[in-house]
Structures are given as structure tokens and as C-alpha cells.
Amino acid sequence: MEKNWGAETAGAPLEPRNKKTAFRTLVLPIVGIWTIWILFRTYSTWAFPDPAVVPSSSQKCPQVEPLFPALRSQEMDSMDMYLESDTFLNKSVSRLSGAVRIPTESFDDMGPYLAVTFPLVHASLQIEKVNTHGLLYTWAGSDTSLKPTLLMAHQDVVPVPDATVGQWTHPPFSGFFDGKFVWGRGASDCKNQLIAILEAVEALLESDFSPRRTLLLSFGFDEEISGREGANTLAPFLVKRYGKGGVAAIVDEGAPNAEVWGRNFAVPGVAEKGYVDVDIVVRMPGGHSSVPPKHNGIGVASELITRIEENTYEPRLDDQNPYLELMRCGAEHAPAFPSKLKKLLKSRDKKSSRAQEHTCNKKDRLALEASKENLLVKYLMTTSVAVDIIHGGVKTNALPERTQFTVNHRINVGSSSQDVFGHIAGIAKGVAEKYGLALTPFNGTETPFSITLSYHDTKLEPAPVTPTGLGDEDHDTAYGILSGTTRALYGQDLLVAPGIMTGNTDTRYYWDLSENIFRYGPGWDREQTGFGNIHTVDEKVGAKAHVDTVRWMAGFVRNMDEANL
């Protein structure tokens, strides 16, 4: 008797024997077909990957193709060859050495030296002095509808303490060249970038290059003391002339290329931490030191300092922090990227919302693990706290009535000065209550028997983060052009990833001028690690790195000139 399989499968009960028959007849073939289909899809995806669905560098760590200027000429080709020659290297070293010999510890008259050293620049570009020593060069382009490119550097250097002069291998203002390095204060911070920019423009002028896009050069003179007279006057001058957002891209000093996790990276700074100095004053009764209380003002201030140092900030990676993108690049491409970090990163990337990652006081496991690498990495994602200055007491037989110390903070991306104020006020409150002192945090004047908190007018919130998208095409954005220029110079083995500056550059005053701000030192000497001893004994820069900075600047100017940003 024939069975009505349609009726049975629609709901009629089956006898046990017939259930087995139905399973073999219907279910097993379906499972078999499904298994074959899955195997086929797996094999075909592995053997013939579909770029739209297979994870690739374009999804996790986008890398652009090297970008070479399309506009070629015999003069341009000759310039490229000249910039790679020993003749140019020797001439460039001589120019940089001459600039280092000028001891611009605060500022000095760089003008005559630059005018003599770069005659075509000074004959062809418009030169304006802003606030006496600020230098603004304008190379007018033929298409006024294009936003200008702006290259920056500063003329001043940090002082060389007399007590350290004898520790230098070569005198700090000698500009000595040993065949590999140029030595001296300012050699790597940042007269090398200033001279390289001018050398690139001089070479372009010699090659009859005529820009389509206006090029601006802006050189402050007091960056090492916060730039309030230099960049702080140059930036408003430019905003008034070109308007807010009136510049296509800005390149200032920043980190050089480096090896990270077994791969070579360029990490142009697309963000900067914030900055605030907090002054704390402890006012307590004075008197003769022969009859001291159990704790005087210096003792109370010391306890407060101890508590501040015991209650520092934990590492926290905000979604906007560029170091997160650098880690994603490392996880994808770097052979020595730690497996534990990779797992934590994958776990974080699975989370669908920022709130899930950063609620209440939940610890940031990824940031905590990443910060174990070294202190520099830790402070890329942590608000730093450093007690740098202290004053108290006037005489050995008089109890101190007023003790003051200053706490410097570099504010993490995703945090703010208000977070800092609340944190340090909370610590001070505990000490004030313990000793019966009044607390006036950031809103009052000093009174007797009190702890008073205030902040300096140099307060700065974390910088806006420069966009790092690539657009529909690799080189549709300023970040794409910078990346392409860099990989054209150093090859495709070099990866480009967003970076962050723990300190601040003169760009702190240029936020209104462009959203595309890059803090980057494009010169690369593989024999030199770090920043070339900036701010300390034996500051130096590799001659090869300096020449490569010139080549990079010339290439970036040309690539920006051909872009339609």
C-alpha cells in the first residue's frame, strides 16, 4: 500500500519503522547536499577570494598605493636625480650645519641666514614678518579655487644648560658633521624640518615648477615656550586671510618612522593630547621652627603630592584614539604583534557600541595590556601627571606659611580638563579635611589655612582628530596623499598608520585653519632610533634622514598640487 508522504510530513504521525525510512529518504540527501555546498563555498572562497567579503588590509588597515607626481618634465626628473646625489647631500648638510650654528635658544635673527642660503625662495615668494620674528612665505598658485597647502616648522630651540656643555660629543652649536650625523641643538628639533622645507621649495623653483595650488610656509619662533608670540599670532593672521577651514592640509614636526612589532611603520600624528598645569597652594600658620607643629605646610603639601602620585590615571583607549588604529594594523600585518593583544583587540572590535566598552569605572583591558610595552606607549592612552615645580619656606628658622607646587597634566584623548580638575580636587579634599583646611578649587582666591587650586592660561583640550579615511580612491583625501607620498619614497614594505603626539606642537593654534593636520617627521635613518636626542645632550640627525625629508617635502607639494581637494 502506497504511503501518502505528503500527508504524513504535513502532520500525520509515522510508525517507528517508517520514521527511519523517511529520515534516510528525505533528511540525509538534504544534509548531504548542504554539506557539499558548504565545502564548495569554503573552497571557492579560499581559492578564489571575493574581495568584497574576504577580510583584507582594506578593511582593517587600509594602505594606499605609492603616489608619484603625474606631471613630469626633464627639469623635474633632473631635480629628483639631484636630490638623491652626493652633491646635494653635501650641500644640504652644509645648510643645516649653518642653521644649527645660530643659537636660537629663544629666538634670534634667522632672516639674513635664510635669505642668503635660499636666494630663489626669497626672490620668488612673498615674505611677511608677523609679530617681528614670525616668518610667513606665500607661493601663489594659479588656481585660487584650491585651498593652500601649509608646511610648518619653528626657528627656536630649547636652551643648553651650561652644566651639560661638557657632556656633548661635539659642541652643541657647532653643527659638526661626522660623515653620518649632523650634531647640535636644533639638529632634530626642528631646524632640520625648517631647512628641508626651504630646500625643497628652492629645488622646485630651480626646476621651473609652477604651482597650481598655493603653498604656504609658516615658521614660528617660540614653540619651545608654548608658541604664544609666534604661532599664536601667525595662525589668526592666516585664518583672517583664508577663513576657517581655508587650508587643505597642514604638516608640522612630529614622530619619525620606526619599527613596531617587527614591521616598519610611519605614524603621522593625527591627534595631540591636551595640556593643563595646576597650581596648588597650601597656606598654614607660620612661627618659629624651634617649636614646630606635627605637620607644617611643606609636610602637608608633601602628603598631598604623595596622594596625587598614588592616584594616577589608568590607561584608557577612546574609540577616537589613533593608537587603536595602529594596533589594528599591527594585528593584521606585524609578525611580532602580541597574541594576547590580538585577542583583546578582536574582543573589543566585536562590541557594537562605545557604551559597552566604557561604562562607569570598568577597566579597559586592552589599554591596560597594551600599556605594559613601555612608558611611551602607556602615555599614548593615559592622562599623565607630573609634579614639576615646588616652592616653600623662606628661612631655616621660620615655618613655611605658603607652599606651592605645580602639577603638569597631558590629557588623554577622550578626556578633558574638567576631568582633571575633578580628579585632583577630589584628592585635595581628603587632605584638606584631614588637617582642617578650607578647600577652594578653581573658583576662589587664596585664604589663610586653606588649600587653593588654580590652573594656568596655557590650558588646552585634546586636539580634534584628523580624518584618516581614504575616500573612493586611494588619494582622494589629505591622509591618502600623505600616505601615498610616504610609501613612494620608502617602498610598500612601510605601513602607514595614524599616530598620536604626547606633547604639543605649534599646530595647537591652527585647529581653525584645517581639519587635516599632520605632525610628522618624514626623514628616516634606520641607524637612529627615536627622536635623535631632542631636548638633551648629543642631539643629532642623520644626513640621509635629512635629505629624505627634503625629497618627501618636494613630493608632497607636487602630489598635493595635483589633487582635487
| pLDDT at 137 (0 to 100) | 98
- pLDDT of residue 450 exceeding 50, the answer is yes
Tell me: pLDDT of 24 over 60. Answer: no
Whole-structure pTM over 0.95, yes or no? no
CATH number, domain of 106, equals 3.40.630.10
Residues in the annotated binding site for Zn(2+): 154, 189, 224, 252, 535
Strand 181-183 versus strand 274-283 pairing type: unpaired
- State whether 335 and 457 are in the same domain: no
pLDDT at position 106, please?
57
* Domain edge (last residue) among 434, 462, 490: 462
Report, as an integer, the average pLDDT of 135-155: 97
**Residues 325, 396 within the same domain:** no
* Closest C-alpha among 63, 57, 56 to residue 497: 63
**Confidence check: pLDDT of 346 > 80:** yes
* Backbone φ and ψ of 403, nearest 5°: -125, 130
pLDDT class of 553 with cuts at 50, 70, 90: very high
3-state secondary structure of 472: coil
How much is the pLDDT for 532?
76
CATH for 408: 3.30.70.360
Residue 13 has pLDDT above 60, yes or no: no
Check residues 42 and 137 and name the one with the higher pLDDT. Answer: 137
78 and 213 both lie in a single domain:
yes
Give the lowest-confidence range in 19-33, 239-253, 364-378.
19-33
Q: Which residues are annotated as a binding site?
A: 154, 189, 224, 252, 535
pLDDT of amino acid 361: 61
266 domain residue, yes or no: no
| Residues in Cβ contact with 145 at an 8 Å cutoff, skipping those fewer than 6 apart | none
Domain of residue 156 covers 74-259+501-562
- Flag whether pLDDT at 12 surpasses 70: no
**352 — pLDDT class (breaks 50, 70, 90):** very low
Is 20 a domain residue? no
Q: How many CA atoms lie within 13 A of 219 on its CB side?
A: 30
Out of 199, 222, 223, 506, the active site residue is 223
Q: What is the pLDDT of residue 437?
A: 97
Is the pLDDT at 182 greater than 80? The verdict is yes
Whether residue 5 has pLDDT greater than 50: no
User: What are the b/e assignments for 167-176, b being 16+ CB within 10 Å?
Assistant: ebebebbebb
Please report the pLDDT score of residue 473 as a whole number. Answer: 73
Task: Examine the fold and report which residue of 462, 492, 523 is the final residue of a domain before the chain moves on.
Answer: 462
Tell me, yes or no, whether 253 and 110 share the same domain.
Answer: yes
Domain boundary among 432, 462, 492: 462
Residues forming beta bridges with residue 255, ordered by sequence position: 520
Asked if residue 434 belongs to a domain, the reply is yes
Residues 114 and 247 in one domain: yes
| 127 and 214 assigned to the same domain | yes
* Tens digits of residue pLDDT in 56-73: 344 678 899 999 999 999
Does pLDDT of 54 surpass 90?
A: no
Q: What is the pLDDT of residue 109?
A: 62
Say yes or no: 246 and 162 in one domain.
yes
Tell me the mean pLDDT in the region 82-90: 95
92 with 178, same domain: the answer is yes
Read off the pLDDT of each residue in 487-498 and give the average, rounded to a whole number.
Answer: 96
Average pLDDT score, the chain: 87
The torsion region of residue 262 among left (phi > 0), alpha (psi -120 to 50) and beta comes to left
For residue 57, the model assigns a pLDDT of 40
Residue 473 domain-assigned (yes or no):
no
* Amino acid 16: pLDDT: 41
CA neighbours within 13 Å on the CB side: how many for 317? 22
* Residue 456: other Cβ atoms inside 10 A: 13
237 located within any domain? yes
pLDDT at 525 over 60: yes
Q: How far apart are CA 233 and CA 495, in angstroms?
A: 36
At 490 the three-state DSSP class reads helix
* 280 domain residue, yes or no: yes
Q: Are residues 214 and 120 in the same domain?
A: yes
Query: Which percentage of the chain shows pLDDT scores above 70?
Result: 86
Annotation marks residue 223 as catalytic: yes
Kindly state whether residues 443 and 542 are assigned to the same domain: no
**96-144 pLDDT tens trace:** 999 999 988 755 567 789 999 999 999 999 999 999 999 999 999 999 9
Predicted local confidence at residue 528, as pLDDT: 67
Same domain, 220 and 184: yes
Identify the weakest region by mean pLDDT among 33-42, 96-105, 448-457, 502-511: 33-42
Answer yes or no: is 267 within a domain: no
Number of folded domains in the chain?
Answer: 3
pLDDT tens readout for residues 400-417: 999 999 999 999 999 999
Instruction: Give me Rg for the CA atoms of the chain.
Output: 30
Q: 435 and 289, same structural domain?
A: yes
| DSSP structure string for 113-168 | HHHHH-HHHHHHSEEEEETTTEEEEEE--S-TTSPPEEEEEES------GGGGGG-
Mean pLDDT, residues 524-553 taken together = 87
Which amino acid is present at 299? G
Is 216 inside any structural domain? yes
- Model confidence pLDDT, tens digit, residues 503-514: 899 999 999 999
